[in-house]
Amino acid sequence: MATQKSFLKWVGSKARLIPDLMQVLPRSGAVLREPFAGSATIFMNTDYETYHLNDANIDLVNTFRFLASDCDAFTNELRSLFIGGNCVATYQQRVKQFNDACDSREKALLFNYLVRHSFNGLFRVNQKGFFNAPFGNYAKVCFPEREMAFFAEKVTRAKAVYFTANDYQDFLKLHISQADEGDVLYLDPPYVPSSQTADFCSYTGSGFDGFHQRVLHQYALMFVAAGNQVVLSNSDTAMTRKLYSGQDIHVVDVRRSISCNGSRRDKVRELIVNYEQRHVIDQAIGLG
């Protein structure tokens, strides 16, 4: 089955990982929860009855909401930003507009313009929350009309799709009490950097360090102990190998989606971790 691409050009998109991921993550079922929904590539390539899609990036989540409720109008408004928008002067002007904007719809529209026109599709903010990724200088920027229509149509096909913009811990604390046996949890956190120059996880202005990786691992153990299937993806490093030791680990080679040298995107190793019930009973602890 061909991979359905997201309407977003997104660092961390799972498009290249989908063929391997679908060997571990069930393609269909009753409920799928994602605290790190990102580009919604998993949503667009699976067929669950109910989805809980969460991301800490409010502009991303508002994009989901506007496409789900008002796809045609949102698409037309966004198209107007793309016309004549592929130049550095316009880009810089819209960076300022985005950083100054308060209206959620205006910010969502500008957000989508920026991730299509920034260098390598990078959405990066500083500690104050201001977008600061450089201009991409592409010869041509594609407008993702078909992908946006597919997203909106898929929302209508599902029994229910819930969009939230919470911190991952708040999301998981809420859903651990709601999850039924057999539900699926997919975890795609900001990856552990494979090198000192490979850290591109500043999507929300707050970092995701080793402490958060370990906290997330404990939540995964708790969900599995409650009867859920949990699948996680991360980079292949000494830290992740140690953290997920004892679980069912699949090592895959994936071409980079971002590189300082856009013409050189070598393959990197990533881990797909399938948490297994028999390995978690003695490891799971409460987090309060």
Binding site as annotated, residues: 10, 14, 55, 188
Neighbours of 211 (CB within 10 A): 9
Strand residues in 132-266 grouped as ranges (E):
160-164, 184-187, 229-235, 248-255
What is the DSSP pairing of strand 28-34 with strand 47-54? parallel
Residues 187/230, Cβ–Cβ less than 8 Å:
yes
Rounded CA gap, 249 and 228, in Å?
17
Binding residues for S-adenosyl-L-methionine: 10, 14, 55, 188
Q: Are 271 and 233 in contact (CB under 8 A)?
A: yes
Could you give the CA distance from residue 228 to residue 29 in angstroms, rounded to a whole number?
12
Quote the CA–CA distance of 17 and 29 in Å, as a whole number. Answer: 20
Asked whether the beta carbons of 104 and 74 are under 8 A apart, the reply is no
Q: Calculate ∠ Cα 29-36-203, nearest 5°.
A: 160
Burial of 195 (0-12, 13-18, 19+ CB in 10 A): exposed
SS3 114: helix
Instruction: Check: CB of residue 114 under 8 Å from CB of residue 95.
Output: yes
